[in-house]
Amino acid sequence: MILVTGGAGYIGSHCVLALLEHGYDVLIFDNLSTGHIETVERLKKYGKVDFQKGDLTNISDINSVFRNYSIDAVIHFAAFSQVAESVKNPQKYYMNNVGGTMNLLSAMLEFGVKKIVFSSTAATYGEPVYIPIDEKHPQNPINPYGQSKLMIEKIMDDYDKAYNLRSVRLRYFNVAGADSQGRVGEWHEPETHLIPNILKSTFSGGQTFKMFGTDYDTKDGTCVRDYINIEDLAKAHILALEYLNNGGETNFFNLGTNEGNTVKEVFASCEKVTNKNIPVDVCPRREGDPASLVADNTKAKHVLQWLPEKSLEYSIDKAFEWEKILNSSILTTNSSK
């Protein structure tokens, strides 16, 4: 059985589906602080999924998981992930992200589980020195969120050397889209990400989309990001798990597409997919946004044989389908039955 921490969240839930499709049994461990019980209920329809509500900062919660289940490997998503919040409240990020991971690793050691796939981020690189960003790029995070993820990466290196606990750290760029069958999708409260915010503004009662910064040194003045489809991203986790199962050594990979799109290009794509003229409010820059972030994904292609396949437009189309589900409240109606 694979333990998935944070499996009720956006990226975790799509990875649970990918695991089920590959024949794995899954135990989701989640405190439901940002994830949703409705997501867990939906996942249970598609395979063997157990759920344990618990908090990684409480060592007895996580120890009891390893005591009660036979865990082969861990995929670790559970974390807070809002950059701006992490600047205002670093303690929350270090206590939960770093402290929680320390408890998880300690339970893994106690119960002899020696394989972990970890959800890391492009935010560990900080302000880019060159683009596209490969794995050799210096890691100098500029906010506590990125710093907390980098600390965990370093801890994992030490645990490999000392205890032979092997890890694969996946450094995500901008994750986009939803399950192609509409089973799960992106569901943050509040939502801060670009694509869902543009799409939400198309529904009645939605807020006007705010475009942050049109004076960057980029081709159209707006920020460039590398949008990786969520199902392509989930597939990389399966490959990382198989890599560890086949004896692969501790490693780290960028997950992105090698291509950048500006905020204005994403906006235009959303107008095309939704077939609507979307009102936009041009605002000053958002603090802490680097002008451009684009991945070099060569290493993941070579070592994991990973190939991202889905286009940005496809991701937006699936994200829009999901927003319709969220907006129609089908989820909450079903879960209360």
d(CA 292, CA 217): 9
Which is closer to ligand UFG, CB of 92 or CB of 286? 286
d(CA 331, CA 316): 20
Which is closer to ligand UFG, CB of 194 or CB of 300? 194
Tell me which stretch binds ligand UFG (CB under 6 A): 37-45, 118-126, 240-248, 322-330. Answer: 118-126
Alpha helices in the chain (DSSP H): 10-21, 37-44, 59-68, 83-88, 90-93, 100-110, 144-163, 194-200, 230-245, 263-274, 298-304, 312-327, 330-335
Q: Angle 164-168-174 (CA atoms, 0-180°, nearest 5)?
A: 160
Q: Is 26 in the site for ligand UFG (CB under 6 A)?
A: no
* Residue 119-148 contact track with ligand UFG, rule CB under 6 A, x = bound: --xxx---------------------x---
- Rounded to the nearest whole angstrom, what is the least distance from the CB of residue 113 to ligand UFG in the complex? 27
Q: Which residue has the tokens 């095309």?
A: 272
* Residue of the chain from 13, 31, 81, 147 that contacts ligand UFG (CB under 6 A): 81
What DSSP character marks residue 124?
A: G
β-strands 166-172, 251-255: how paired? parallel
* Residue of the chain from 22, 92, 193, 264 that contacts ligand UFG (CB under 6 A): 193
Tell me which stretch binds ligand UFG (CB under 6 A): 23-31, 100-108, 231-239, 286-294. Answer: 286-294
Q: Which residues pair with 299 in a beta bridge?
A: none
d(CA 246, CA 32): 33
Q: Is 211 in the site for ligand UFG (CB under 6 A)?
A: yes
Catalytic-labelled residue, pool 10, 93, 125, 145: 145
Q: Is 286 in the site for ligand UFG (CB under 6 A)?
A: yes
Residues in the chain: 337
Q: Is 174 in the site for ligand UFG (CB under 6 A)?
A: yes
Q: Which residues of the shown chain bind ligand UFG in the complex (CB under 6 A)?
A: 81, 83, 121-123, 145, 174, 192-194, 197, 210-212, 223, 225, 263, 286, 289, 293
Residues annotated as catalytic (active site), given as ranges? 145
